[in-house]
Structure 1
Amino acid sequence: MEDISRDERHARGRLQDMARKHGASLAGLSRLIGRNPAYLQQYVARGSPRHLDEPDLRKIAEFLGISPRVIETRRFDDTRYDAPTQRRVAMAERSPGGVGEWVEVPRLPLDASAGPGAFSAEEISFDSFRFSRRWLREVGLEGADLSAIRVEGDSMEPTLRSGDEIFVDRNKRAGEGIHVVRIGDALHVKQVQASAPGRIKLISANDAYAPIELARDEVEVIGRVVWKGGRV
């Protein structure tokens, strides 16, 4: 019994590892199989449920581009995959990292991410965008640590409009450009510009808002804005 429990724990750990490599959250995968966002987190951390249902397991495995055997806690017959799915799985397992063709970018509510340390896709994502890995590579975003948030307010118009969705790359926190920054307990989207030594200037695109200059240690740079989208 002890060996079985150890194997089950390893399988759950592999699920979490493969999700991270794929850029997916456990909450997002839970929604993929029609479960509540905490379902797979409880499965991984607490072993509840003890086993995933076979249809759920197969759907997750197909999304990640892996064989169900990589993440199963009890043996299923994976020969029941249809031929096209078996080919996709085989191709994904031969690709670098074996993580499939899609990347899930978690969406974070801007107002909910205003508390200290709260900018965390695992904890507060409420939805996600799904993009092909090829497209991300073509636009120079392969390997980016992306989260999506919605712009609120008009301070960055016309560059960014209220309601736009923006991608924030948390791997890019240095240099000038449009960044998401935290000042106290509030998040802001601003143009970041170097100022006097030890100081930073935050500039709005909308001329109605005056630039703000602060000490560098008063501003936490969350990440650079690298993409935007919105309604026409």
Structure 2
Amino acid sequence: MKETQQMTLETLSGPRARLLELSQKRGVSLSALSDLLGRNPSYLQQFIRKGSPRKLEEQDRATLARFFGVGEEELRDVKDNSYTAPIKPRESGEWVDVPRLDLGASAGPGRVAGDEAAFDTFRFSRRWLAEQGLERAQLSAITVEGDSMEPLLNNGDEILVDCSPRAFRDGIHVVRLGDTLMVKRVASMGAGRLALLSQNLAYPPVEVAAEEVAIIGRVVWKGGRI
């Protein structure tokens, strides 16, 4: 049995290999870990053996990381292109360079996230950031795509997203639903439900379970052509 497990570890890589290694060291079964996540007993078995799902959801990774006492990044695929955390702004004297990421957050039906790569920066004065209460914010800039948030956010606007860890409160957020990155007004519905709301009344609200949505960050500023 140990030889079979060892061979399995050798044929795996990335978060699948790491998760199997951690489960074996702790002596806990994959079905028990699946139960910890509130999933069906074969969930993690299928993730490791069959690659389905393709990646662990953010909340599942966080739960497992806390259980094993490891960093969440150990269970994240380095090839995962979904928006996960901002590139750290570069500070120089009185100025802070905030990265502009090669990503678009859909304000329409949704789009699949692309490469999280900084291609440029916005430069903000440290004093201005402090005046906005953003002196310690984890900021990055991405582009709005679509018209569902008009007139508040227009297609082509660039928005600053603060990914600093904080308790959720209703507001305009960039969220990930499955593999789709979008910007919506997010409101708590109670009983573990969230509403994803558009400003454009042509788009109906979408109600989802809170665990289905990853809150990437709060939108704190916008810029665009007049």
TM tier relative to shorter chain? 0.5 to 0.7
- SS, match of residue 199 in structure 2: coil
Q: TM-score when scaled to structure 1?
A: 0.54
Matched letter for residue 146 of structure 1 = L
Matches of 2:113 and 2:160 in 1, distance apart? 19
**Which aligned pairs between 1:93-172 and structure 2 lie closer than 5 A?**
100-111=93-104, 114-115=112-113, 124-171=117-164
- Counterpart CA distance in 1 for 2:152 and 2:173 is 13
Q: Give the one of 163, 187, 193 matched to 1:193.
A: 187
Post-superposition Cα deviations, 1:100-131, rounded to whole Å, max 9, x if no partner, equal: 21101101122499449x6x5xxx11111011
Supply the distance in 1 between the matched residues of 2:138 and 2:217 (Cα, whole angstroms). 9
Q: Distance in 2 between matches of 1:160 and 1:149?
A: 12
Q: Does residue 1:182 correspond to 2:139, yes or no?
A: no
CA shift at 1:196, angstroms? 3.0
Normalized per residue, which structure has more helix? 1
Secondary structure of the residue aligned to 1:126 is strand
* Cα separation, 2, equivalents of 1:202 and 1:185: 16
CA contact (8 A) 1:172 1:224 kept: no
Q: CA deviation at 1:165?
A: 0.7
Question: Matched residues in 1 for 2:216 and 2:152: separation?
Answer: 19
What's the counterpart of residue 45 of structure 2?
A: none
Q: Using the aligned pairs only, state the percent identity.
A: 59
SS of structure 2 residue aligned to 1:150: strand
Q: Number of aligned residue pairs: give it.
A: 134
Larger Rg: 1
Gap runs ≥5 in structure 2: 1-87, 106-110
Task: Please tell me the residue identity of whatever aligns with 1:209.
Answer: Y
Q: Which whole-Å CA distance do the structure 1 matches of 2:165 and 2:220 have between them?
A: 9
Runs of 5+ consecutive residues of structure 1 not aligned to the other structure:
1-21, 25-62, 65-99
Q: Deviations over 1:173-219 (max 9, x none)?
A: 51110000001111110000001311111000000000000011110
Please report the TM-score for the alignment, with normalisation by the length of structure 2. 0.55
Match of 1:84 in 2: none
Among 210, 221, 231, the alignment partner of 2:215 is 221
Q: Which has the higher strand share?
A: 2
